[in-house]
């Protein structure tokens, strides 16, 4: 009985070892995952009123902030996600930055038009770190003065 696979198309001495045929497939999956899961997610509370009286039909400052960033764009690799509350209502507008294996940061007191570049700059700096920890002096000034919370990644030990 021939157990070498000779005579079967694609199997035998001319074919790549069977275990190697899975390598390109696995590499493809890894690349696909890298392209579809951004390293950084920017959460924006669309319910924030920023201390203002806002009518039922009016656009809230948080929703305006989300719209402005959606329309004007974010740095590459950052996904924008709207959320309904980050429990920082009295100090809105509120955003959070998070990512797999990274510290999560919540920032407040943001303005829907004045802080667009600050948010883009801070999000890009966050994206460019392996763990989300941007050195203090390299953070945008508003981020340094308005950090509401920082939460360690699930994987972190002894924090």
Residues that bind ligand FES (CB under 6 A): 45, 47-48, 62, 85-89, 92, 94
Query: In the complex, what is the shortest distance from the CB of residue 88 to ligand FES, in angstroms, rounded to a whole number?
Result: 4
Rounded Cα distance, 116 and 95, in Å: 12
Residue with the two structure tokens 């509370």: 45
Query: In the complex, what is the shortest distance from the CB of residue 50 to ligand FES, in angstroms, rounded to a whole number?
Result: 9
Inter-residue contact 13 to 6 (CB < 8 Å): yes
Q: Which is nearer to ligand FES, 89 or 147 (CB)?
A: 89
Q: Which is nearer to ligand FES, 40 or 46 (CB)?
A: 46
Residues 6+ apart with CB under 8 A from 157: none
Query: In the complex, what is the shortest distance from the CB of residue 27 to ligand FES, in angstroms, rounded to a whole number?
Result: 41
Could you give the residue ranges of the DSSP H alpha helices within the chain?
22-36, 61-72, 116-127, 141-145
Q: Which is nearer to ligand FES, 92 or 140 (CB)?
A: 92
């Amino acid at each position: 009985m021939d157990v070498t696979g000779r005579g079967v198309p694609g199997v035998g001495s001319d074919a790549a070892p069977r275990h190697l045929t899975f390598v390109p497939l696995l590499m493809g999956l890894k690349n696909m995952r890298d392209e579809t899961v951004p390293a950084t997610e920017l959460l924006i509370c669309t319910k924030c009123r920023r201390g203002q009286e806002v009518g039922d039909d009016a656009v809230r400052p948080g929703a305006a902030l989300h719209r402005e960033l959606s329309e004007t764009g974010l740095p590459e690799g950052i996904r924008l996600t709207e959320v309904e509350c980050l429990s920082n209502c009295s100090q809105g507008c509120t955003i959070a930055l998070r990512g797999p294996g990274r510290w999560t940061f919540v920032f407040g007191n943001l303005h829907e038009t004045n802080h667009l570049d600050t948010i883009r700059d801070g999000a890009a700096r966050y994206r460019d770190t392996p763990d989300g920890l941007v050195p203090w002096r390299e953070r945008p000034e508003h981020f340094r003065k308005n950090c509401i919370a920082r939460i360690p990644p699930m994987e972190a030990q002894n924090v």
